[in-house]
Amino acid sequence: MNDFTFYSPTYFVFGKERENEAGKYIKKFYGSRVLIHYGGVSAVKSGLIDKIKLSLEKEGLYYKELGGVKPNPRDGMVYKGIELCRNEKIDFILAVGGGSVIDSAKAIALGTPYAGDFWDFYADRSLTANASALPVGTVLTIAAAGSEGSSDSVITKEEGMLKRATGGECLRPKFSILDPALTQTLPAYQTACGATDIMAHVFERYFTNTKRVETTDRLCEAILMAMIHETPKAIADPDDYEARANIMWAGMVAHNDICGVGREQDWNSHWLEHEVSSLTDCAHGAGLAVIMPAWMEYVCAHDIARFCKVACRVWGCPMDYDNPESTARAGIKAFRDFLRSIGMPTSLEELGATASDILYLVKTLGLNGKKTGGFLPLGEEDAENIYKIACRDKRF
């Protein structure tokens, strides 16, 4: 196990109707002039935004609203939010929604006190380590990205459709309100996309070259098994509160990095997927459902033993000691079969991309001859090969 420093100071406020306490927690963290940031009309029609506003009014807090965040959030909304925050002297941002809304709120929080272009932080992730930002709180409505407990944010630059990430401790939410009941109205497809994203966050940490990390291995395996157990229940019965609750907490635990401490991590699947969702505007989880098994197929030989471990411990595959690779590949197949069973796509074509898009996807990665990733560093040729695997129709 590697040395590490772990600090995760977010207050998690979990349970039914806890969104009614938003104003109290904003006040706890010294907010007085609040931007309520949210996505589409559903947050308004459901009455959630009215509940939030009432909770702020009870605490005597001034607020402004900024809705309209789209999936794969764009820089145009961020610039609009920064201008509004500066004009209204906003000192706290409340994100009401899923990962896209929270990521957009974090970008606005970074950009508001910054004299330059907020995109600087996304073009050069290292800048965020020493940056300051407005405090952010969240009311989560989709269990998926884990942004409610992480220090990360992903934004798409509309010019060139470049999707980039940044991260720093200044971006960890001060508090996050998690009411599983708010996810019960989600369509099955969105629930499945969220579950896929959660599992991908675990796998990015699980596939590591660091030795003897049994504690975090077991944590990762437990979350994966919980997702395998609970996701079909939530899809079959959207009102299954307990399934929703387990999935919502798994989403946070999967990405606040408690499963990743002390170990090298990979993140190539996310890096490859970002270009796919930027091109096709597909849901992030749907893109990961296609890319992650393809990545697994490509890198499997790098550490057959680790792939066998997850195949046996998580997917229940029998160990073939005479042919370990067959066990490893059985685990990959089990993962893909599970994704298909919850309604996820299994090829790039299902997302709206084709083999003719591969060279464009590789180019927009911006590697320029370099390699990236922690488990097995990959370059442009590797990326091209993985996208080719992802083009194969895996439905049969």
CATH code for residues 188-391: 1.20.1090.10
Q: Mind listing the pLDDT tens digit for each residue in 38-81?
A: 998 889 999 999 999 999 999 999 999 999 999 999 999 999 99
Q: Mind listing the pLDDT tens digit for each residue in 158-182?
A: 998 889 999 999 999 999 999 999 9
Report residue 351 CA to chain centroid gap. Answer: 18
Q: What's residue 392's pLDDT? A: 77
**Half-sphere exposure (CA, 13 Å, Cβ side) for 170?**
20
- Among 138, 94, 134, 88, CA closest to 111: 134
Please name the helix (run of DSSP H) or strand (run of DSSP E) that holds residue 90, with its range, or none: none
Q: Mind listing the pLDDT tens digit for each residue in 280-334?
A: 999 999 999 999 999 999 999 999 999 999 999 999 999 999 999 999 999 999 9
Residue ranges per structural domain of the chain: 11-182, 188-391
In the block, residue with structure tokens 């040729």: 381
- Among 274, 396, 298, CA closest to 347: 396
Q: Encoding tokens for residue 116?
A: 């330059």
Mean pLDDT of the chain: 96
Listed range (7-11, 84-88, 201-205) with the worst mean pLDDT: 7-11
The average pLDDT across 362-371 equals 92
Band of residue 9 on the pLDDT scale cut at 50, 70, 90: very high
Asked if 262 contacts 216 with a C-beta cutoff of 8 angstroms, the reply is yes
CATH code for residues 11-182: 3.40.50.1970
3-class secondary-structure state, position 66: strand
Q: Encoding tokens for residue 134?
A: 């407005």
Alpha helices, DSSP H only, in the chain?
A: 22-28, 42-45, 48-58, 75-88, 99-111, 120-123, 188-206, 214-236, 241-255, 268-280, 284-299, 304-313, 324-341, 348-351, 358-364, 380-391
Residue 365 CA to residue 267 CA, distance in Å, equals 13
Give the torsion through C-alpha atoms of 143, 146, 147, 149, to 10 deg.
110
The pairing of strands 33-38 and 92-97 is parallel
Residue 343 CA to residue 243 CA, distance in Å, equals 18
Q: Encoding tokens for residue 77?
A: 């909304």
Report residue 81 CA to chain centroid gap. Answer: 22
The pairing of strands 162-167 and 152-157 is antiparallel
Please name the helix (run of DSSP H) or strand (run of DSSP E) that holds residue 163, with its range, or none: strand 162-167
Q: Is the pLDDT of residue 114 over 60?
A: yes
Residue 78 CA to residue 163 CA, distance in Å, equals 14
Residue 363 CA to residue 184 CA, distance in Å, equals 40
Q: Is the pLDDT of residue 197 over 60?
A: yes
DSSP-derived secondary structure letter, 177: E
The average pLDDT across 22-31 equals 98
